[in-house]
Chain A
Amino acid sequence: MSTETTPPAAPDKAATPPVHINVLPGALEALKLFEREVAAYRRELPRLLDEGNAWRHAIVKGDEVLSIWDTQGDAIQAAREKFGLDPIFVKTIDPRDPERYALLDAWLAAQCQS
């Protein structure tokens, strides 16, 4: 009886379809509306995490992270006092976001190709 075993094949990443993202009505419009804010948040995320801000709440406007708050309520209040009822971008600083945005990027790229 042979004792040789065949090692399991490594997953072929190129063949793996992107994780499905449930893009609800208006979501693409939201991504467009907050394109600069999302880009700024993604750019600043490593620094924010390095500085111990995980799970705190950032107010982002344009290309800049304006301020960081301990609670979502405080961030919303501060943003409303500054910007009134205009659209604001209050984002929980989530350590999982690099992977999540990568999933979204892959899904959006796949949509463009199909």
Chain B
Amino acid sequence: MTYLIQGRTNDWEVVIGLEVHAQIISDAKLFSGAATSFGAEPNSQVSLVDAGMPGMLPVINEFCIQQAVRTGLGLDAKINLHSVFERKNYFYPDLPQGYQISQYLHPIVGEGMVRLDMPDGTREIGVERLHMEQDAGKSIHDQDPNRTFIDLNRSGVALMEIVSKPDLRSPEEAGAYLRKLRAIVQYLGTCDGNMEQGSLRCDANVSVRPSGSDELRTRAEIKNINSVRFVMQAIEYEAERQVDVYETGGSVVQETRLYDPDRGETRSMRSKEDAHDYRYFPDPDLLPIDLTPDFVEEIKKNLPELPDAKKVRFISEYGVTESDAGILVAEQETAKYFEEVALGRDAKLAANWVIHELFGVLNKVGKGISDSPIVADKLGNLVDLISNNVISSRIAKDVFEEMVAKGKDPGVIVEEKGLKQITDAGEIEIAVNNVIADNADQVKKFREGNQKLVGWFVGQVMKKTQGKANPQMVNELLLEKLKG
């Protein structure tokens, strides 16, 4: 399923690399003791270090180093025991120091890998590097016709920049990579992955080349895309734009572009060439980070089970299908919820109820699984009622709706409404006999060879028992009597 753009004379292949900025989960900032929480009063979470006041010195937050290493290990990456902070120099009003403390030649994490499960098989996407850096403050442009307002709360918050190799070949792969990366950092507890609040931001490097070629042509960088869907749309648009440029005899220029979701197009930021002359040099205020192998080993020992491993375990331990397992591990909360429902129960049935019924309701009310109207324990009780033949699957759906609406325990609902499945053969037989006696014509048709009518008879018996008869028993009894 190669993604190709049909050109006039030949097909074109897309080459994509993603740079993801992930905000590290920490209480305090990377180099100061100011808080990091989102949505605080403007400039209230700012120390004099973050404001770039003269004479202030940065002191590194040890936990942020741990978080970066932890993420590196989660990406199967090489941890560099020696890494160096450098200054990336540029002027912008929300960067009070006049430089961003970042890592350049010696990042803390080297090459790693992210595995993607695509419809046509597994793809391994290389990670080039991961480095730590400071976030900038926030510029607010729409408060005043002549001025830009600056809030430095975000200034100095720790970021990880995770750079992929140019291994992605379609918008779908780019989307899958971003979702997988988000799942990994969420599992690790190193970034909350919230793209709306900007804790995860993405730049996409896009170029095209004639299908079958292995050259790397000039790329355009699309900056600051804030949703998975927009990343995919931006890449699709940009790749087609570049094909168009080449086919009309032009050449693609290396530049920064912005994606406009309203118009569905990318456009040039026309930034000056000088903007990329960052004049990196080692930050004289900071010593290199030197880690011991023990420090890394300790973090490695405490890594949680990650999505890939969890998926394999769900398949072998619970017997769920590969695609169901993929859905269940995509978010840590879902996996946890599923395991609570499935533990000691019919796991396939549990998976079915979580994926089909529960997700259906969550989508409808627009809630995440952590705000689910039904807690895992109660859904488990419902699965028990079905497995123990107390209620039929059909009745279970009614009970489920009642649970969503009223938040009641399924056992209580079944009791109150008298929904218990009828498994008493005598009682079912009476209903079956009645239906047969009342419908002589249909019985005749059945006996003349219209076997399909059995379904209709089942329906009639279920109607008579308000859906409570055990369908299997109804089926067996009916066939016995009809064939009589």
Real complex partners, A and B? no
Residues of A within 8 A of B (CB): none
Residues of B within 8 A of A (CB): none
